[in-house]
Amino acid sequence: PFYIEEITKSLEEMGVFKRVEEIETAIDLEQIQIPMSIQDILMARIDRLPEKHKNALQIAAVIGREFAARLLERTAGSKNEGADFLGELVSLEIIYQTQFHPELAYMFKHALTHDVAYNSLLASKRKAIHARIGEVIEKLYSTRLGEYYEIIAYHYEQGEVWDKAIQYLILSGEKALGNMANPSAHTFFQKAIDIASQKARDLSPDQEYAIYHAKGTTEFNMGRFSEAERDFFQAREVAKRMGDQNKEAESLSMAGWSLGTAKKYKEAINIYEEAINFGRQIENPIIEGRNLIGKGMLIGVLGDIQGCRRYIDKAIEIGKRINNPLILTLSLSIKAAESSHFGIPDEEAIEYLKKMIPMLKTIQNTRACVVVYNLLGYSEACKGDYMASISIFQEGLRFAEETGETLSRTKALNFLGWIYGDLGWISEAKKLNEESYKTALEMGSGYEEAEAMAAVNLAENAIAEGDYEQAEKYLVDLSKKSKTDPGYLVMKHRWEVRQLCALAETFLDKNEPDEAMHCAQKAFEVAERTLNKRGMIKANRLMGKIYITTKDFSKAEEKLNEAIIDATEVSNPPHLWSTYYVLGKLKEAQGFHDKAKGKYEEALKVVEKTARVLTDKEIRNIFLNSDQIVSIRKCLERL
């Protein structure tokens, strides 16, 4: 249709035919020459324009497919040449007006018309016009230049004004980073580096530091930790040459965080210690505090929980002393995460963190922001407020997707999958866990924790569906990987307890109670060593279940009583109803039907209390009709 429309206009402009009531040609048909391509037709139409019209159209094309009349006028350097012919170009249906306010703007009717007009210029003239446009935008929009950084960078790059191009690419990257658009920011910084290298342009020390530190930040936020490490060390070298100790300390700190996430644990711990001492030496408590957090978190995820607490408590003290929101947010995040996982949530830390998300967005710390979302969602789930938890995780997922924060998004999918699994919505849990698992495998290094958590979630989903063979595949594969790759050491103390318990379930299904007990006992040992109260509950409940199958009822009662005491203390609904359910099974096996009925009733009370907070009807109905809840009801009805 576009070809037909343009050839018709072209033939009419050439005088081949004229408009009358009936169609007739103005010349013999044999004399008509029809161009073979749409590009030829458009070029012919442009060539037939008066020279001033043509020049204006070509300048407009260099500005872009959409252009402001005022910018065209200033670039052309002549009011007549820049603006007077716009009305006629509109009447020829080459361009059309797109807006009147805040300033008059036009757009090429078709992208092909724009491309043909742009390519009709000699490369040298096109380059000069691009450079001129960059200059004009700087002057014309000087009071709101930030809106045009990317456009100015583009025109100076195309105009081969390299120093200006680099300047505005850096500004564009910083703007994108400020808006948490990490992929775009990375592209701008990389392009600035490429231009400086390929065109032999010298960067000022300030520019070089800004580029490498900011580029490292985008890579860290996107989960490219090895690349981030290299850039932060490069930024550190620049800071050394500048003699700026604070910048050097900042880069050293971020290099440590990158090393730790990239599985270079020993190097990371050494860098953290160096940065802690450097921060003290230059009397910079922010650097000292951030690296206390970094070292504490790293040794914590590697299983040294007591050591972690010592470093985090020091960081909290610094954060409170200097009233630094970021240090307090990061340190309290770790404290709150550990307290939720190990038993009772730290409400003071959680309440503080709820206020911190807007601040973290303001300072463009996307990683910390999504971590806080995940932590708050996890804490609400541990307390049994599932709707609040789901809402927080969904908000965090949207934010992670908008900012390109892949690692924390993958973990958020894990958490959400875990919650739906607890609520018996296995199909939705599997969908989220499979997406997390697939993403973690695709991303590779640095994503081992997310992969492990997803694998354990999927194994638990398979057990819930009675597919013990599939569950065993996930668990055995994870065991093999974790023996050879140090990346799986991160948070192993968390996922290993659940992995061992799930593996014990597969042995029970195969009627191998000794193997099942070995796994359950090992799970308890790991949980006890790392102060994991919820893991201890799970392992004790499982040992009680195993003892029931071997008819060792006294030991079963001992383990289940320990589990119910701890479950009551931490007030976690799934642990409560699950433990009461197994206690009911024990009493039933012992022939104490009234006591069994009482335990099942206790389990059902927890279930009904949980159902009342599930305000989403679909989730509530799925929960109440899930296999485990139905089993509790059937046991009660039978008695």
> Domain residue spans in the chain?
2-121, 143-153+162-382
Residue 181 phi, psi (nearest 5): -95, 75
- Chain segment 347-369, per-residue pLDDT in tens: 777 777 777 777 777 766 677 78
- Report the 3 state secondary structure along 407-467: HHHHHHHHHHHHHHHHCCCHHHHHHHHHHHHHHHHHHCCCCHHHHHHHHHHHHHHHHHCCC
Reported as a pLDDT band with limits 50, 70 and 90, residue 405 is confident
Residue type, 23: I
pLDDT given for residue 30 in this prediction? 54
Helix axes 386-403, 406-422, angle to 10 degrees: 160
Does the domain formed by 143-153+162-382 have CATH 1.25.40.10?
yes
Give percent of the chain with pLDDT exceeding 70: 91
- Chain segment 84-105, per-residue pLDDT in tens: 678 889 988 899 999 988 899 9
pLDDT higher than 60, residue 343:
no
pLDDT given for residue 488 in this prediction? 87
pLDDT given for residue 490 in this prediction? 79
**What mean pLDDT do residues 155-173 have?**
97
Token representation of residue 594? 């009234």
Rounded Cα distance between 531 and 305, Å, is 8
Per DSSP, 201 falls in state: P
Residue 531 phi, psi (nearest 5): 60, 30
Beta-bridge partner residues of 67: 106
Token representation of residue 229? 């490490």
Look at residues 327, 314, 377, 322 and name the one whose alpha carbon lies nearest to residue 350. 377
Question: Among positive and negative, which fits the CA dihedral 317, 319, 320, 322?
Answer: positive
Rounded Cα distance between 541 and 594, Å, is 21
Reported as a pLDDT band with limits 50, 70 and 90, residue 588 is very high
pLDDT higher than 80, residue 497:
yes
pLDDT higher than 90, residue 345:
no
Residues 6+ apart with CB under 8 A from 233: 251, 255
Assign a CATH topology to domain 2-121.
Arc Repressor Mutant, subunit A (1.10.10)
Which region, left, alpha or beta, applies to residue 303 given φ > 0 means left and ψ of -120 to 50 means alpha? left
Peptide bond into 183 cis (omega under 30): no
pLDDT given for residue 610 in this prediction? 96
Distances (CA, A) of 581 to 169, 546, 623: 62, 14, 16
With H, G, I as helix, E, B as strand and everything else as coil, classify residue 605. Answer: helix
**What mean pLDDT do residues 389-414 have?**
89
Look at residues 162, 128, 134, 129 and name the one whose alpha carbon lies nearest to residue 150. 134
With H, G, I as helix, E, B as strand and everything else as coil, classify residue 95. Answer: strand
With H, G, I as helix, E, B as strand and everything else as coil, classify residue 312. Answer: helix
Rounded Cα distance between 337 and 372, Å, is 9
- Report the 3 state secondary structure along 247-277: HHHHHHHHHHHHHHHCCCHHHHHHHHHHHHH
- Chain segment 427-474, per-residue pLDDT in tens: 999 999 999 999 999 988 778 989 999 999 999 999 999 999 999 999
Reported as a pLDDT band with limits 50, 70 and 90, residue 128 is very high
- Chain segment 22-78, per-residue pLDDT in tens: 555 555 555 555 555 778 888 888 888 988 889 999 999 999 999 999 999 999 886
Residue with tokens 């289940």: 560
**Which one has a higher pLDDT value, 167 or 403?**
167
Task: With residue 634 as reference, give the H or E element that holds it.
Answer: helix 627-638
Task: With residue 89 as reference, give the H or E element that holds it.
Answer: helix 86-91
Q: Mind giving me the DSSP string for 320-360?
A: HHHT-HHHHHHHHHHHHHHHHHHSS--HHHHHHHHTTHHHH
**Which one has a higher pLDDT value, 494 or 207?**
207
pLDDT given for residue 493 in this prediction? 84
Rg (CA), the chain: 33
Look at residues 176, 201, 179 and name the one whose alpha carbon lies nearest to residue 189. 176
Residues 6+ apart with CB under 8 A from 237: none
pLDDT higher than 90, residue 478:
yes
**What mean pLDDT do residues 238-252 have?**
94
Rounded Cα distance between 278 and 239, Å, is 14
Distances (CA, A) of 387 to 383, 473, 617, 623: 11, 32, 11, 13
Rounded Cα distance between 148 and 168, Å, is 9
CB 499 within 8 A of CB 506: no
Strands 17-18, 24-25: pairing is: antiparallel
> Which letter, b or e, does each residue of 400-432 get, where b requires 16 or more Cβ atoms within 10 Å of its Cβ?
beebbbbbbbbbbbbbbbbbbbbbbbbebbbbb
pLDDT higher than 90, residue 563:
yes
Beta-bridge partner residues of 18: 24
Distances (CA, A) of 405 to 16, 371, 410, 488: 60, 10, 9, 21
Q: Out of 253-257, 419-423, 603-607, which region has the weakest mean confidence (pLDDT)? A: 253-257
Look at residues 384, 432, 360, 303 and name the one whose alpha carbon lies nearest to residue 567. 384
pLDDT given for residue 36 in this prediction? 58
Count the residues in the chain: 639
Token representation of residue 413? 């999918």
Residue type, 561: N
Beta-bridge partner residues of 95: 108
Distances (CA, A) of 599 to 106, 221, 555, 561, 587: 75, 48, 18, 12, 8
- Chain segment 252-306, per-residue pLDDT in tens: 999 998 998 888 899 999 999 999 999 999 999 999 999 999 999 899 888 888 8
Rounded Cα distance between 390 and 384, Å, is 11
Residue 433 phi, psi (nearest 5): -65, -40
Give percent of the chain with pLDDT exceeding 90: 66
pLDDT higher than 70, residue 2:
no
Residue 95 phi, psi (nearest 5): -130, 170
CB 3 within 8 A of CB 34: no
Residue with tokens 């936020």: 221
pLDDT given for residue 596 in this prediction? 96
pLDDT given for residue 227 in this prediction? 95
Residue 331 phi, psi (nearest 5): -70, -40
